[in-house]
Amino acid sequence: MKKIRFPRDDYLKLLIGVVAISFSPLAVKLVVFDTNASAFYRSFYAALFFLALSLWNYKSQFSVKHNKWLIPSLIAGLFLGADLVVWHKTIIYLGAGPATFLGNSQILFVTIFAALVYREKITKEFYLILAVAMLGFYMLTPALGGAISQPYGYFLGMIVGFTYAGMLISLRYAKTLSGKSYPELLSLFALFGASAFIIGLYSFGLKNDNILVWDAKSHIIMALTALLCQTFGWYLINHTITKIPAHEGSLTLLFQPLFATVWGAIFFSEWLSGMQIFGMILALAGIVYHQTKYITKQRSAKG
């Protein structure tokens, strides 16, 4: 009988990647930039890092003789730009933990996008799961009062989940079109480059904000965030998540908002109320159940 190797190193690398990206919302609260500027520089520096990696791996990235990946990657960047603009605001308004949890509603929105793009069937059970999880997300949203009411904070969080799902589906489509010749590093460079462009356009054109602000400490923080979270963190996740059972990989990613909540409490005293904790548990229960059922369905379809 063939012995099954327990990929302990792969689990460790995946967990390190998840921990790395869980620190990203903290950077937004540590810089003097406004939320649009922090979103811009986060994308800008990430684009530079992925361009450098693409040039380092010149043969594998620039030898691809088609550009089928380009348009979907740019569209993914437009989704990401919108996502970061809103997400950075929710981090300031709601706190690192709740904002990151609300953004993880993308897991449910991805199912809806996949049904529209890939014609994947949505079961009636999913709508019940969706209702339970959305109720949990609403209960998790803090009631701050004033201009940032609970419904408004919840609405912003759902925008983050929706746009993040759009980004993931667009990248998935870029990879599907390219097959084995997918230039991943170049695609991610296009993604973050488009994100920086749309954020800059929004800030200068619509908001008339000057995002070209110099503060050495803030630039270092955003550059490190782009390097450690976007580049290093997602590199580990992308290169290990396919090496372990799919349902375990998907559920491991849910540690990101949990860690972000812990960091928010430790570094910024963002403690959750009893109602918020119950909402978090309710949302997690819905997502975990959905992910478990989805992976089981996928395995059954493959025989």
pLDDT digits (tens, 9 = 90+) for 209-250: 778 888 899 999 999 999 998 888 887 877 676 566 655 666
What is the sign, positive or negative, of the torsion defined by CA atoms of 9, 11, 14, 19?
negative
pLDDT digits (tens, 9 = 90+) for 102-123: 988 888 888 887 778 777 777 7
Residues 137 and 282: their CA atoms lie apart, in Å, by 8
Those residues of the chain that have pLDDT short of 50 are 1-6
pLDDT at 78: 96
Q: What is the pLDDT of residue 245?
A: 62
Report the pLDDT value the prediction gives residue 199, as an integer from 0 to 100: 94
| Under 8 Å between Cβ of 122 and 297 | no
Which residue's entry shows tokens 């406004």? Answer: 34
Tokens of 66: 């088609």
Q: Are 20 and 229 in contact (CB under 8 A)?
A: yes
pLDDT score of 6: 47
**Residue 147, pLDDT score:** 67
Other C-beta atoms closer than 10 Å to the C-beta of 92 total: 16
- Domain boundaries in the chain? 8-58+66-301
CA gap 267, 67 in Å, rounded? 44
